[in-house]
Chain A
Amino acid sequence: EDQVTQSPEALRLQEGESSSLNCSYTVSGLRGLFWYRQDPGKGPEFLFTLYSAGEEKEKERLKATLTKKESFLHITAPKPEDSATYLCAVLFNYGQNFVFGPGTRLSVLP
């Protein structure tokens, strides 16, 4: 069974302390990998889509990268407003279902 895992489960950073979140998936043919941000009590908000190994996308303090087995979400000089749960989701070559990871809860302290 194809699975998506994320690490760490939770991460606490000081404001300005850069770090990376990981999303790993078992190989069964990747069609796309998606990153979302979810604030408490809200639905996920789309951040990035990555389609092939080596691809990178950037948005403000966030940069997403993709390899054949995993994706990283790099957060540079985070601010408290970056605190949220970050979810990744994978769309595999078969079917049309997105498989979501459990998420990483990020807290950025001022």
Chain B
Amino acid sequence: GAGVSQSPSNKVTEKGKDVELRCDPISGHTALYWYRQRLGQGLEFLIYFQGNSAPDKSGLPSDRFSAERTGESVSTLTIQRTQQEDSAVYLCASSLAGAGADTQYFGPGTRLTVL
């Protein structure tokens, strides 16, 4: 595909359930980022993958959040035992090079609503 894709586009879940969000980066992009954007707010960094290096998980808000990436392809963000405060848009971005001032290309996001 031409750009970053994310699925699902919308997810409604009940409090306490687990959810899995998917990101397909642009082919050849070695760096991948996950962000959270609460309504009316800026982007909050969650996690960063660069090639086969250990991911930077410093932005994950709690141990209920985890993410994986297979090589330089698909990434999944998992939120366990969802809480209402997890409701937000989750954005994924990829770039050609992570360690450097390179351009991030964003997906359309997944809107998560926890009832």
- Interface size for B (C-beta < 8 A) is 26
Q: Indicate if the CB atoms of A98 and B56 lie closer than 8 Å.
A: no
Given contacts A89-B43, A96-B48, contact A45 B101 (CB under 8 A): no
Q: Indicate if the CB atoms of B98 and A103 lie closer than 8 Å.
A: no
Q: Which of B42, B58, B107 contacts A97 (CB 8 A)?
A: B58
Q: Indicate if the CB atoms of A96 and B42 lie closer than 8 Å.
A: no
Given contacts A97-B48, A103-B42, contact A49 B4 (CB under 8 A): no
- Would you call A8 an interface residue if the criterion is a C-beta within 8 Å of the partner chain's C-beta atoms? no
A5-45 near B? 1/0 per residue, CB < 8 Å? 00000000000000000000000000110101000011111
Q: Indicate if the CB atoms of A102 and B91 lie closer than 8 Å.
A: no
Min Cβ gap B27→A in Å is 18
* Assembly CA distance A73 to B42 (angstroms): 17
- Would you call B7 an interface residue if the criterion is a C-beta within 8 Å of the partner chain's C-beta atoms? no
Q: Indicate if the CB atoms of A44 and B103 lie closer than 8 Å.
A: no
12 extra interchain contacts, Cβ-Cβ under 8 A, other than A96-B98, A97-B56, A98-B45? A32-B101, A34-B103, A36-B106, A43-B4, A44-B91, A46-B103, A89-B43, A96-B99, A97-B59, A100-B42, A100-B45, A102-B41
The 3 A-B residue pairs whose C-beta atoms are closest, nearest first, are A32-B101, A43-B106, A100-B43
Which B residues fall within an 8 A CB radius of A?
Answer: 4, 33, 35, 41-45, 48, 50, 56, 58-59, 91, 93, 98-101, 103-109
